[in-house]
Amino acid sequence: MKNLLSAADLTRDEALAILDTAQRMHAVQTRAVKKLPPLRGRTVVNLFFEDSTRTRSSFEIAGKWLSADVINVSAKGSSVSKGESLRDTVLTVAAMGVDALVVRHNASGAVQRIAGWVGCHVVNAGDGTHEHPTQALLDAYTLRARLGDLTDRHVVIVGDITHSRVARSNVLLLSTLGARVTLVAPPTLMPSGVSSWACDTSWDLDSVLSGNASGDVDAVMMLRVQRERMSGGYFPTEREYAIGYGLSPERLDLLAPTAPVLHPGPMNRGLEISSVAADSSRSVVLDQVQAGVSVRMAVLYRLLAGAEEVGV
């Protein structure tokens, strides 16, 4: 595997190999000394043109725990903010002899362009409203930890699908792993072309959760309403959205006791998810954060050190 640009890049065997490697990497988090040697002497640059806390921090920790030299570069204060083109900035960084670029950009498709310009490994850490493949991997890791094999499991993803790179990557990866996905959103937040995606769609959350429309629900993922990407009125009021599509205590009760509740974060409590749901025993939000380090360790390891057995 040269790069990880899209969840569609992964076959079922490749995805399972990353998840299995992540499971072994997970043991590092319980150690007093959290270090493995396989990436010693390798250099990883986190090149973030869009703000992030969870993703950048977890990639930084992942690289450092694998003994790589990790450098963080943000757009603010970089040559891009002084007028340099994206291509020149990327080629300048790559020319310093880095082994991998972890890139987040606010333009869809930017990371794919970057991968065509450089010879080092490239990981997509989120590009616009396009994809976020490592988020989908950590979501799948979290689901497997709770549900086991995802074949024929039914995962419902609810919220701002139009602006969500997480939803796109999850549909691709979960379908590759054999799960069935249903997207639920108001019509204004359901993207055009969604009929060609490998999933079902619905506008009626209560019907889906109660099993009347799509069968039993094994897990629910709530998506953040991305108000910063909205230029118009996608729904009348926040209260109306919460009533129609928020995971309220009443909707939480429609789920099976074993059904986990996921959220990629950051959460808008009281909008797409109630505090009762966010803090319930079924919430695996913090498990997702913890899984992020293990999964990103696995991705960096398999890109930079090959597929040899991990000694942990």
Give residue-wise pLDDT tens across range 71-94.
999 876 566 666 689 999 999 999
State the average pLDDT over residues 51-76.
Answer: 92
Question: Which residue in the block uniquely carries the two structure tokens 């040559």?
Answer: 79
Walk across the sheet containing 69-74 and list its strands.
Answer: 69-74, 43-48, 100-105, 121-127
**Banded model confidence at residue 119, pLDDT cuts 50, 70, 90:** very high
The pLDDT assigned to 233 comes to 57
| pLDDT tens-place string over residues 224-271 | 887 554 445 567 688 898 999 999 999 999 999 999 999 998 899 999
The pLDDT assigned to 276 comes to 97
The pLDDT assigned to 78 comes to 63
State the average pLDDT over residues 100-112.
Answer: 96
Short-list 262, 55, 246, CA closest to 147 = 262
**Banded model confidence at residue 101, pLDDT cuts 50, 70, 90:** very high
Long-range CB contact pairs, 165-168, < 8 A, 24+: 165/126, 165/127, 165/128, 165/129, 165/130, 165/131, 165/132, 165/135, 166/132, 166/135, 166/136, 166/139, 166/223, 166/264, 167/223, 168/7, 168/129, 168/130, 168/131, 168/197
The pLDDT assigned to 234 comes to 63
- Of the ranges 69-78, 101-110, 117-126, 176-185, which one carries the lowest mean pLDDT score? 69-78
Name the more confident of 29 and 65.
65
Name the more confident of 227 and 57.
57
The pLDDT assigned to 84 comes to 81
CA distance 123 to 106: 15
| pLDDT tens-place string over residues 179-211 | 999 999 999 999 989 999 999 999 999 999 986
Percent of the chain exceeding pLDDT 90 equals 79
Cα torsion 144, 146, 151, 157: sign? negative
- Which residue(s) pair with 44 in the sheet? 70, 100
State the average pLDDT over residues 269-291.
Answer: 96
pLDDT of residue 24 exceeding 90: yes
The pLDDT assigned to 230 comes to 45
**Banded model confidence at residue 53, pLDDT cuts 50, 70, 90:** confident
State the average pLDDT over residues 27-32.
Answer: 89
The pLDDT assigned to 79 comes to 65
- pTM summary value: 0.93
pLDDT of residue 309 exceeding 50: no
| pLDDT tens-place string over residues 147-170 | 999 999 999 999 999 989 999 999
What does the CA dihedral 167, 249, 213, 156 come to, rounded to 10 degrees? 20
Angle between helices 165-176 and 133-147 (to 10 degrees): 50
pLDDT of residue 125 exceeding 70: yes
Tokens of 179: 């799960």
State the average pLDDT over residues 86-107.
Answer: 95
The whole-chain average pLDDT of the chain stands at 91
